[in-house]
Amino acid sequence: MTTRPALALSTAALALALASCSLTGDTEDTFTYGILYPQTGSLSFLGPAQISAAEYAISEINEAGGILGAEVPPPVRADEGGDNTRADEAANGLVSDDVNAVIGAASSAMSQATYDTVTGAGIVQCSGSSTAPDLTDIDDDGRFFRTAPSDLMAGPVLARRIADDGNTSVAVVARADGYGTGYLTTVEEELRALDIDVVLTETYDPDSTNFGAVVGGIVEAAPDAVALISFEEGAQVMAALLESDIGGERFYLTDGLNDPGLAETITVDAPGLIEGTTGVAPSADNPEFNEGLRAFAPELDVFQFAPQVYDCVTAIALAAESAGSTSPEEYVEHLPEISRPDGTECTAFAECRDLLAEGQSIDYQGVSGNIDFDDNGDPTSATFEVFHFGPDGYEILDYVDYSADGH
């Protein structure tokens, strides 16, 4: 009879498999991140920073022993492409790959286009750069988070900078989408509260190839300053205004144009034309993090939103540790808890994880600043950088802290 030897062989194989699992960890508990980021499209200049920050965070998690003792594999990459259809197809691909969390998308519009696919599949999504106020109240069943601050915080910071520079009249121009219109409203409200004359508010189709009407309106209004809330297409608006003798010192920009290479994008022959241009963008006053990321990715030259993406990855890892589970359905409830002010403050994954293992509640202090997720998954405070194009090129003038209560 062959049944007994076969049974013995089968039993031995099972024992070997179980022994292997005990040494390497249960593969079903491996935590895999998907990252939905702009490899192409109008925000592609942010792509390298986003993937590098995610991979840097994962490398530090793995150096500390992984999530729940299992090594985290490289993230599954997907291109949001700056296009709604393409972004949703990419999100569906990540869902099909059974990722445990999705980091991204980059732009607010792409997060709007993908959150239903991701969170509807029961997966947690965290964006480090989507800032539109509309994302606060989306129907995400509590699964969409962001470490980037809402423009309800960014708008007042930009408006106060414009006022502090002595401008008394301002034209506010924005792309006609959730990001642009929401940001425009907050800037306008704060400027008026500061008794600044808002002589023009205008939105435009970001897919347009002709911005003549917008440019003409600004020239006719003759403001002291122009607040431009845009992405890549804003360079065309700036170029046209510069040709109309509106000097670079009159421009105030937002994160969508926070690009050290902006001057060359506008004009290769005379990059000095934008000298004096100032802008505000979410940031982090954290030289130690910047040095670490630069060592990890030496080729990186744009760091915008890198701290926020890093914090998305780390916060989710800590939530999984707190829940003792890689299942989004279980760890999602722990995401707000790991950043509550009543917990013990900690900064690094290993430090925070060890506190959780001791049964303590924690207050994760992100590399982008104090996050403190609210009930909508939004951060309640943030740090902003004031960037500037001076005689020697791109520079950071200052860092400004701002919280949801207006301080």
Instruction: Say yes or no: 63 and 44 in one domain.
Output: yes
Instruction: Say yes or no: 363 and 243 in one domain.
Output: no
Confidence of residue 174 (pLDDT cuts 50, 70, 90): very high
Tell me the pLDDT tens digit for each residue of 361-402: 999 999 998 888 999 999 998 999 999 999 999 999 999 999
Residue 95 lies in a domain: yes
Q: The domain containing residue 159 runs over which residues?
A: 152-282+384-403
Q: What does the pLDDT average to over 274-292? A: 93
Instruction: Say yes or no: 95 and 111 in one domain.
Output: yes
Instruction: Say yes or no: 178 and 54 in one domain.
Output: no
CA distance 153 to 155: 6
Instruction: Say yes or no: 272 and 394 in one domain.
Output: yes
Tell me the CB-side half-sphere exposure of residue 272, using CA atoms within 13 A. 2
Phi, psi dihedral angles at 233 (to 5 degrees): -65, -20
- As to burial, measured by CB atoms within 10 angstroms (0-12 exposed, 13-18 middle, 19+ buried), residue 84 is middle
Residue 13, pLDDT above cutoff 90: no
Residue 295 lies in a domain: no
Instruction: Say yes or no: 134 and 194 in one domain.
Output: no
CA distance 115 to 50: 18
Q: Could you give the residue ranges of the DSSP H alpha helices within 121-211? A: 151-164, 178-193
Residue 79 lies in a domain: yes
Tell me the pLDDT tens digit for each residue of 294-345: 999 999 987 889 999 999 999 999 999 999 999 999 999 999 999 988 999 9
Q: What does the pLDDT average to over 230-246? A: 93
Asked if residues 100 and 32 have their Cβ atoms less than 8 Å apart, the reply is yes
Residue 193 lies in a domain: yes
Query: 260-265 contacts: CB < 8 A, separation 24 or more?
Result: 260/301, 260/302, 260/393, 260/394, 261/45, 262/235, 262/389, 262/394, 263/389, 263/393, 263/394, 265/232, 265/235
Asked if residues 308 and 106 have their Cβ atoms less than 8 Å apart, the reply is no
Instruction: Say yes or no: 222 and 319 in one domain.
Output: no
pLDDT for res 18: 38
pLDDT for res 407: 63
When mean pLDDT is compared across 26-30, 181-185, 223-227, 380-384, the lowest value belongs to 26-30
Instruction: Say yes or no: 249 and 196 in one domain.
Output: yes
Instruction: Say yes or no: 173 and 243 in one domain.
Output: yes
Phi, psi dihedral angles at 232 (to 5 degrees): -55, -35
- Tell me how many domains the chain contains: 2
Which CATH number goes with the domain that contains 366? 3.40.50.2300
Instruction: Say yes or no: 388 and 365 in one domain.
Output: no
Residue 287 lies in a domain: no
Residue 14 lies in a domain: no
Instruction: Say yes or no: 310 and 266 in one domain.
Output: no
Residue 292 lies in a domain: no
CA dihedral 336, 340, 346, 350 (to 10 degrees): -30
3-state SS assignment for residue 303: coil
CA distance 55 to 171: 40
CA distance 186 to 61: 38
pLDDT for res 253: 98
- Give the DSSP letter string of 21-47: HHHH--GGG---EEEEE-SSSTTGGGH
Tell me the pLDDT tens digit for each residue of 86-113: 999 999 999 999 999 999 999 999 999 9
CA distance 294 to 303: 9
Beta strands in 234-349 (DSSP E): 251-253, 278-283, 344-346
The secondary structure of the chain in percent helix, strand, coil, rounded to multiples of 5, reads 45, 20, 35
Confidence of residue 268 (pLDDT cuts 50, 70, 90): low
Could you report how far apart the first and last alpha carbons of the chain are, in Å?
Answer: 82
Length of the chain: 407
Residue 353 lies in a domain: yes
Instruction: Say yes or no: 360 and 394 in one domain.
Output: no
Asked if residues 178 and 132 have their Cβ atoms less than 8 Å apart, the reply is yes
Cα separations in angstroms, 176 against 138, 181, 406: 19, 6, 26
